[in-house]
DNA sequence: TGTAGAAAGTTGTTCGCGCAATCATCGACG
DNA sequence: CGTCGATGATTGCGCGAACAACTTTCTACA
């Protein structure tokens, strides 16, 4: 009779509701140190990339923001001194966004609270076995909905820094 | 050495990545019938509520949009004839957003594709046992991060429609 | 009953993001 | 080696949402 109570719909709703709820919790910690959600996302992606750098377009691909969005986010972060733009030595069209020391410091400042939030509202609520299974399931889905989430990491790690180990 | 590769951080990233990815997939189906993501969210919440109606503020609470955001979304949907505003008989400050027949039809139009997407990119990827455990975990987290996700349902179902079953 | 504070909803303002157009550069092909 | 399509990044523009201020109405308390 009611075509709108399909269990798949409920499952989908549950998933986005949880993700949104956790995002809201995290948001509060981010604003406490003067970062927006996308600021944090951008900085953490850089921090977890080889040599703390990523090309603008790779950053866009990883964050599911548009390239123009990334341009403006990096503009803002650069004004605050949290990232630096650096020219690519092999492709004059491209440029890297590089995490600065200040950017890393800012990240370190939020990290304890942020990790505590995740523990309190997510990982700590499940048993180790539950959590492990949960993450396995997430990975299965991630591999299907997001085939290229690790774009750019091999590039950044393999490319030589100018003057460093000059072949 | 690297304080940014904490497994909790990875877990969080995985979760939001999956949710975002699925949202993007759904977005394509929604735009095909002329709905934005929030349009769909709003309509489906109304459809799944008793008497297909919800007060503006309850709608805001359920969708994690601000009340001003809901005002404008309902403005738009009302212009398109998908919802109707209706005065509350017991509180002259409040008003209901009510799903119209056209709104229900629009929802029915997207539903097959949307359910198919969910099946393809989410529920169908896991075994029944995996899915069941996954949803259990989600519910555990949801209950903590979103204690009042069902605001307004008992109100809408218990309140009498004017002229209907008068006392 | 009258007044003060809270709550529901709308509106003005601001800001962030996506889309499309643009510029510069790269790679391929004749 | 020159030309053309493709790619990386940036900017103009418009839309959509949050925040705060405001209006109306309700509720509590004296």
CATH code of the domain containing A61:
1.10.10.10
Task: Quote the pLDDT of residue B81.
Answer: 95
What does the DSSP assignment read for B102-142? HHHHHHHHHHHHHHHHHHHHTGGGS-HHHHHHHHHHHHHHH
Q: Is residue B86 part of a domain?
A: yes
Task: Quote the pLDDT of residue A155.
Answer: 56
Q: Which residues of B6-35 are buried (b: 16+ CB within 10 A; e: fewer)?
A: eebbebbbbbbbbbbbbbebbeebbeeeeb
Average pLDDT value over all residues in chain A? 89
Q: Is residue B71 part of a domain?
A: yes
Whether B128 has its CB under 8 Å from any CB of chain A: the answer is no
Task: Quote the pLDDT of residue A161.
Answer: 36
Q: Which nucleotide is nearest to A39 (CA to C1')?
A: C16
A85 torsion bin: left (phi>0), alpha (psi -120 to 50), beta (else)? beta
Q: Which residues pair with B95 in a beta bridge?
A: B87
Q: What is the pLDDT of residues B82-95, one digit of tens each?
A: 999 999 999 999 99
Q: What is the pLDDT of residues A77-99, one digit of tens each?
A: 999 999 999 999 999 999 999 99
Q: Is residue A92 part of a domain?
A: yes
Q: Is residue A83 part of a domain?
A: yes
Contact: B15, A19; criterion CB under 8 Å: yes
Q: Is residue B97 part of a domain?
A: yes
Q: Is residue A61 part of a domain?
A: yes
Domain that holds residue A77: 16-109
Q: What is the pLDDT of residues A48-75, one digit of tens each?
A: 999 999 999 999 999 989 999 999 999 9
Cα separations in angstroms, B81 against A53, B32, B76, B84 = 49, 18, 9, 7
CB–CB of A141/B14 below 8 Å?
no
**How many structural domains does chain A have?**
1
Residue ranges, chain B, pLDDT below 70: 1, 147-167
Q: Is residue B47 part of a domain?
A: yes
Which residue from B17, B25, B131 is facing A142, i.e. has the nearest CB? B17
Which chain A residue shows the shortest CA-CA distance from B5?
A48
Nearest-neighbour CA in chain A from B146: distance (Å): 6
Neighbours of B69 (CB within 10 A): 15
Q: Which residues pair with A55 in a beta bridge?
A: A96
More confident residue, A150 or B95: B95
Which chain A residues have a beta carbon less than 8 Å from that of B149?
17
Q: Is residue B3 part of a domain?
A: no
Q: Note the CA–C1' distance, A62 to D2, in angstroms.
A: 37
What pLDDT band is residue A113 in, cutting at 50, 70 and 90? Answer: very high
Segment A29-37 shows an average pLDDT of: 95
Please determine, for residue A18, whether its predicted confidence score (pLDDT) is greater than 60: yes
Whether A112 has its CB under 8 Å from any CB of chain B: the answer is no
Residue whose C-alpha is closest to residue B63's, from A6, A2, B55: B55
Length of chain B: 167
């Amino acid at each position: 009779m009611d075509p709108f109570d399909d269990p798949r719909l409920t499952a989908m709703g549950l998933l986005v509701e949880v993700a949104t709820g956790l995002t809201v919790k995290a948001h509060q910690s981010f604003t406490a140190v003067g970062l927006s959600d996308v600021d944090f996302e951008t900085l953490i992606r850089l921090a977890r990339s080889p040599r703390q750098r990523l090309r603008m377009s790779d950053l866009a691909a990883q964050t599911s923001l548009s390239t123009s969005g990334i341009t403006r986010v990096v503009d803002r972060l650069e004004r605050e001194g949290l990232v630096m733009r650096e020219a690519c030595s092999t492709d004059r069209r491209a440029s890297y966004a590089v995490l600065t020391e200040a950017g890393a410091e800012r990240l370190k400042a939020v990290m304890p609270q942020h990790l505590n939030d995740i523990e309190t509202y997510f990982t700590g609520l499940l048993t180790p076995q539950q959590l492990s299974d949960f993450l396995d399931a997430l990975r299965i889905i991630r591999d299907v909905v997001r085939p290229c989430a690790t774009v750019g990491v091999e590039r950044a790690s393999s490319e030589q820094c100018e003057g460093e180990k000059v072949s």
